[in-house]
Amino acid sequence: MTEQAKHTHHAIDYIELAATDVAAAKRFYAAAFGWRFNDYGPAYAGIQGEAGREAGGLRQLAEVKPGGPLVILYSRDLDASLAAVRAAGGRILKEPFAFPGGRRFHFADPSGNELAVWSER
């Protein structure tokens, strides 16, 4: 794979999520979304993406502060994703709501990061 095929100019290339407990964050994202990880020690785990390329990482911090960019994940089945987030221990911040183009919900992971999940239906 060429370097140009791996990355898209001016596109989001990598997202790091802060975690107060990297192991707990890995368990949560694996259970809720089926994510897999590359471990780089107890304080950092890379999020495996498509074709073996990392899409982001989980980094250990003493405290997670709310705010910053909102990461929005796509789902083919919003209700199943909502159930998986709840079952994995996520805290629902905004129940599913309609917006032009689909529906989405917001949740907090075990460290307090706010993310959203959306679907066309």
Going by pLDDT thresholds of 50, 70 and 90, the confidence category of residue 65 is confident
Q: What pLDDT score was predicted for residue 4?
A: 46
The CATH number for 102's domain is 3.10.180.10
Q: Using an 8 Å Cβ cutoff, are 47 and 31 in contact?
A: no
Going by pLDDT thresholds of 50, 70 and 90, the confidence category of residue 121 is confident
Domain count, the chain: 1
CA 76 to chain centre: 15
Mean pLDDT of 59-87: 93
Mean of the per-residue pLDDT values of the chain: 91
Mean pLDDT of 63-83: 92
Q: What pLDDT score was predicted for residue 20?
A: 95
Q: What is the DSSP letter of 76?
A: S
Least confident of 1-10, 95-104, 108-117: 1-10
Q: Could you tell me the residue range of the domain that residue 55 belongs to?
A: 3-119
